[in-house]
Amino acid sequence: MTIIPGSPPAEWPAASSEFDVRRFGAVGDGLTLDTDAINRAILAAHAAGGGTVVVPAGNYLSYSIRLKSHLTLRLNSGATLIAADPPARGKTGGDQGESVGGYDAPEDAAPNVHQDFGHSRFRNSLLWGENLESVTILGPGRIFGRGLSRGNGRIALPVGEVAPQPPGHLPDVLEADGPFEPEGGALVPGEFGYPNAIDTLAAGVGNKAIGLRSCRNVIVRDLTILHGGHFAILAADCEHVTIDNVFIDTNRDGIDIDACANVRISNCSVNSPWDDGICVKSSCGFGGLRPVENVTISDCYVSGFVEGTLYDGTRSRKVLHRGGPIGRIKLGTEGSGGFRNIAITNCLFEFCRGLALEQVDGAIMEDVVVSNLSMREVMNAPIFIRLAGRLRGPGATAPGTVGRIAISNVIAHDVAPAHGIFIAGLPGHPVTDVRIDGVQLYSRGGGTEAEARRAVPEMVRDYPEPMLFGTLPAWGVYVRHAARIQLSNITLRLLNPDQRPAIMLDDVIAPDFSGIRLPDESATGSWVLTGVQALRVRDCDGHRDVSR
């Protein structure tokens, strides 16, 4: 059977299940746009009832590639799929027009009241699919998002380059809303800045390496993604997702799982200095509202080195913005659908922020288990658990709930001095039923007597980032507005002297401490307790045993 390059065959031989993009006209020279050839190969596989679209060794310049059901897209060893630069301003292809016009236009959707443009648009991606079944994206080849936007302009700066940060671009503390008044009636959501003209991208501009919405049975495996734009991988409202052995070194988010169920993320390395490495969230960006549930994250590595330097092995360390590189594992910030049944285990953090569990949008966070984490050069709280009242979600009028969380076997070395373990709810809305066991925390220290007396703002409606609270008045453990918190077998150590207490509790009901080890076993003033009820302490340095 003769196949003419550049045009799809009338039919594919029944015995064949592989569709080589070069047979459909792809050149792979890094200069010729291969978008249409790759999409023709995908359509041929789809017409045949499914198959594997093969991208052989070469550099394939492309705009949007439209995935189909029952399809495997395989980037062979030596193959690089390159996101092409967006067309000149005003020259676009419209809604799925010819690829010379740029990336597919973002789909029509409701105004971005509850989340940003990047969370709620999927078709303006290098690879995208929606309402699909049985889709697989395989390596060992690479995706290079050279022409993608980070979400705030037509194209991002080249790999590793960063725009100058304005002096004082973030104040020490943001709290414009004042204290929370639990008896004052329903909360009124504040202004979140959406819709925002700066946040919106024109047709023809792409901002994600992979964007998937409402798909089932998705596998992404053995792939490398470099410079992935706003999201290297964004999956929303998807069922049964496997992301395994994926290497990402990128300029914003790495892997975002949004309002999905039954997700397995394993054996991944994600370097993302400017945003989260692996982030689980439950926004309504896909057009609905549902919890994210039944998610496991295991055997992964996250970091915040200069972009591109995890990939080349140099692991360059630079602090380019206040608060330091991000690169962490996080639940939140978007949480309007809620979180339940999440497990995180056997993960490594290096030169990035710590684990963050955040519910600030009026829904639940429950049944979360975390174990076996090792962290080095931690930029903020190694463990941050937050319940608050930002309420960025439809119908949200009051804070949600955070409870039934178990965290065990964590080592955090060289922790930035501003925060240790940090758990905070709101007055009348406590974080509940948290058990933390087997933690070794080594803080850089350096805190002052003035910082020990500092009042921490409530930050009711603000973005829930530890650095925005400022330096905490305790270097090891700070818990406020919580109930039934258990801490056991915790070792707190200082790399340098610190004049703040090790442990501070404020408005905490039924805290339970056992086996706490401090730098000085007999030190007085290591514990500061305010508004604490039904305290239980056993075998702890710096505090007598107390049984309630």
Tens-level pLDDT at each residue, the chain (548 residues): 344 444 445 444 444 699 999 999 999 999 999 999 999 999 999 999 999 999 999 999 999 999 999 999 999 999 999 999 999 876 654 444 444 589 999 998 766 678 888 889 999 999 999 999 999 999 999 999 999 999 888 999 999 898 776 655 443 332 223 333 333 333 333 333 555 666 788 899 999 999 999 999 999 999 999 999 999 999 999 999 999 999 999 999 999 999 999 999 999 999 999 999 999 999 999 989 999 999 999 999 999 999 999 999 999 999 988 899 999 999 999 999 999 999 999 999 999 999 999 999 999 999 999 999 999 999 999 999 999 999 988 889 999 999 999 999 999 999 999 999 999 999 999 999 999 999 999 999 999 999 999 999 999 999 999 999 999 999 999 999 999 999 999 999 999 999 999 999 999 999 999 999 999 865 668 999 999 999 999 999 999 999 87
Rounded CA-CA distance 71/227 in Å is 25
Position 108 scores a pLDDT of: 85
Q: Are 105 and 95 in contact (CB under 8 A)?
A: yes
Position 135 scores a pLDDT of: 98
Position 393 scores a pLDDT of: 86
Position 148 scores a pLDDT of: 97
Q: Nearest CA to 208 among 347, 417, 64?
A: 64
Question: Residue 27 CB: number of other CB atoms within 10 A?
Answer: 17
Q: Write the CB contacts of 509 (distance below 8 Å, at least 6 apart in sequence).
A: 430, 482, 483, 484, 532, 533, 534
Position 86 scores a pLDDT of: 96
Position 259 scores a pLDDT of: 98
Position 200 scores a pLDDT of: 84
Position 174 scores a pLDDT of: 29
- SS3 of 278-328: the string is EEEECCCCCCCCCCEEEEEEECCEEECCCCCCCCCCCCCCCCCCCCCCCCC
CA distances from 173 to 326, 457, 476 (A): 18, 8, 21
Position 88 scores a pLDDT of: 83
Position 162 scores a pLDDT of: 84
Tokens for 263, please give them. 């997700």
Q: Nearest CA to 467 among 384, 391, 407, 377?
A: 384
Q: Cα-flanking dihedrals φ and ψ of residue 43, to 5°?
A: -65, -35
Question: Residue 2 CB: number of other CB atoms within 10 A?
Answer: 4
Position 357 scores a pLDDT of: 98
Position 163 scores a pLDDT of: 79
Q: Cα-flanking dihedrals φ and ψ of residue 187, to 5°?
A: -70, 145
The pLDDT tens digits for 338-391 are 999 999 999 999 999 999 999 999 999 999 999 999 999 999 999 999 999 999
Strand partners, 424: 386, 480
Q: How many CA atoms lie within 13 A of 100 on its CB side?
A: 1
Position 522 scores a pLDDT of: 54
Position 331 scores a pLDDT of: 98
Rounded CA-CA distance 247/143 in Å is 10
